[in-house]
Structure 1
Amino acid sequence: MDLDTVRTFVAAADAGQFQEAAAELAVTQQAVSKRIAALERDLGVRLFTRTPRGAELTIDGQAFLPHARDLLRSAERAVASVRTGRRPLRVDVIASRVATTGLMRGFHHAHPEIDLDVVMLFDIETAVAALRSGAIDASFRAVAAPGRPLPEDIESVRVLDEPHQLLTGPGHALARARSVPLAQLVGHRIWMPGIVPGTEWAAYYDALVAEFGLTIEATGPNFGSDALLDTVADTPTLATFTTEQTRLVWPTGHGLRRIPVTDPTPVYPHSLLWHRDNPHPALPTLRAHLATTATAATGHDAPGTWRPDWVLPY
């Protein structure tokens, strides 16, 4: 398939007008029309419908668009595989408000000369596949889950042990506590709808439940952090876990409490993963930065903390 026609199709779909797509691609509008027509002949379907407002995707066009984007991303990765030093350093951080995003902000402030792309992949299998293909250069994950060791070509180092906190509404029985011993949480309902079976974070919380007899519920759809905070604020029998450096913002009226968990303190073990043959020139700089900032600041398997047995020691 001619990538120029695919690129033209995506540009036209995004712009909604052939004329704007032509300006973006630095070609004539006639060239855009010819490329789209050629692609439609190859596929045997109509991709656009002309309207007074411009060009709208047909149902077939809507179906083809995500695959067209994938084709262009694959081509980009193919080029990047032999021009690694010319593209930004790509790092996977799981989510935007977690501690590892803060680590990458610190790295960017310390090394503004390094171009950086931050991406968010779903689970460790996806991240490892992206590391092995060269789509990303590094990933922050908890490793290694039981029975799922990392491939031999993937290296890792623990960079941050992040303490847990209990998040409650103002009416919860523990809301006024300055800290909560882990054993005191037995019998309390801890709601975490973001836990997905088979993921590395599910393995972590499964181990926590098994060792301390906690009740962690992952029932119901995950509508995101705002809905979770609303429910915890309004339900005195529910609490949830968060981690110390996770950034949360809620309305003043919620009155939520973040309470340290102690005796022991569960810590979430963030590790940096990379492919041992990754040639990106900025990757050693990232590793050195984390070695002198994140790890030094958090300690190594500190007394009074807990992690699953399957997490490798420092």
Structure 2
Amino acid sequence: MDLDLAQVRAFVAAAERLHFGQAAEQLAVSQQALSKRIARLEGELGVQLFLRGGHAVELTDAGRRFLEPARQTLAHGDAAVAAARHVERPLRIDYWGHLFAPMRTLAPVIERVGGAVTVETGPGRDLPGVLDALDRSATDVGFGRVHGVGGGVGSGGGGTRDAAYTHRLVRLEPVDVVISEDHRLAGQSEVRPAELRDSVLWCPAALNRLDFFQRFAEHFDITAESGTANLGIDRFLEQVAADPVRFALIPADLELPERTRVRSLPLVEPTPLYAWSLVWRAADPHPGIEPLLRAFADVAGRSRWLEYQPGRDWLPAGDVSEVWHPAERK
């Protein structure tokens, strides 16, 4: 059968909101017209996509199976229209690692790209969430820490899904330790990771969701704990300030909020580095990715973003393999 994209669009809008009225408003059609499109689609497919009861709407098993391919069908249809009309859509970048303020790195690069590419940015939840958005063609590039690179990107490592992506290391950022003014090391000018073994690494989320924090704690034999929810950097640093045993890891040049009773000290011997990377679909990449990579290379060269010296610096093992050939990894 030939899918009617108007019917598919009606289905996706209703499936994402589970509300026919809101979906109709989004598509600027009447609710009756939206319902007719979905009913025709169900008739063509020979399956029921929604369970309708009173004011509640739910997806059937068939509807859940159909949703992701339907999203991809719409994305490919929109891309085909844009190609035929020679309309270049904006390059969409989703970023994560919010505690480390990723826009500090993205902003000068986007400025360097200038008018060559129109760029749109938006927050992603985490690496798996951004990979899912890439799968759905809901974004073009992810920016954050791409871990698990030993067997491919993503938390699982290896597999067919990993082969669908290309990634590139673009920045290595030195990390400082942040401690309470009452911490026993607060009077020092610098701190060594070995000196933190009787302290607690305070994390903004569960440790199994924070690969860099987890690897740091394991490598230096440090206890790590986390709160119940990530409530932003202000609250996070308040939690560190309230306990003289806790410490946090923060980018060295990140400006800390005023009025927070903490000290930021350099970590040395070794200095941990946080690896920022770009990740995108290997197949049919957005044409704006190449100018973006050139801009990253230019800014990284001038700002010395990719400097790494074994012994002086520390990186998780998977990140070290990226440093030696950052432009050749696929």
Residue identity opposite 1:106 in structure 2:
P
- The 1:183/1:128 distance shift into structure 2, 3 A limit, reads same
User: Partner amino acid for 1:117?
Assistant: E
2:269 maps to 1:267: no
Equivalent residue number for residue 251 of structure 2 = 243
Q: Which amino acid in structure 2 is aligned with residue 278 of structure 1?
A: D
- Contact 1:154 1:273 (8 Å CA) reproduced: yes
State the Cα deviation string for residues 231-271 of structure 1 (Å, max 9, x = none).
21222222211222445435x2x322221111110001112
- Where do 1:202-221 residues align within 5 Å? 202=211, 204-218=212-226, 220-221=227-228
Q: Which amino acid aligns with 2:88?
A: R
Select which of 276, 283, 292 maps to 1:286. Answer: 292
What is the TM-score of this pair, normalised by structure 2?
0.70
Alignment of 1:78 onto 2:89: no
Alignment partner of 1:224 is 2:235: no
Post-superposition shift, 1:122?
Answer: 3.8
Return 155-164 or 260-269, whichever deviates more. Answer: 155-164
Asked if 2 retains the 8 angstrom alpha-carbon contact of 1:162 and 1:243, the reply is: yes
Q: Deviations over 1:79-108 (max 9, x none)?
A: 344347632112221144535322322233
Task: Determine if contact 1:154/1:276 at 8 Å carries over to the other structure.
Answer: yes
Specify which of 184, 187, 191 is matched with residue 180 of structure 1: 191
CA RMSD in angstroms comes to 3.8
Alpha-carbon contact 1:8-1:36 (below 8 Å) kept: no
Q: Tell me the equivalent position of 2:52.
A: 45
Q: Percent identity?
A: 20
Matched residue, 2:327: none
- Are 2:71 and 2:136, in contact at CA under 8 Å, matched by a contact in 1? no
* Distance verdict in 2 for CA 1:130–1:4, change over 3 Å: closer
Mean Cα displacement is larger for which, 188-197 or 144-153? Answer: 144-153
Cα distance in 2 between the residues matched to 1:256 and 1:239:
9
* 1:119-143 deviation per Cα after TM superposition (whole angstroms, max 9, x unaligned): 3334444444544554332222434
Partner residue in 2 for 1:50: none
What does residue 106 of structure 1 align with? Answer: 108
Tell me, which stretches of 5 or more residues in structure 2 are unaligned?
A: 43-47, 154-161, 325-330
3-state SS, counterpart of residue 290 of structure 2: helix
TM-score (norm 1): 0.73
**Aligned-partner residue type, residue 275 of structure 2:** P
User: What is the one-letter code of the residue matched to 2:288?
Assistant: A
Q: Give 1:183 shift.
A: 1.7
- 8 Å Cα contact 2:102/2:144 also seen in 1: no
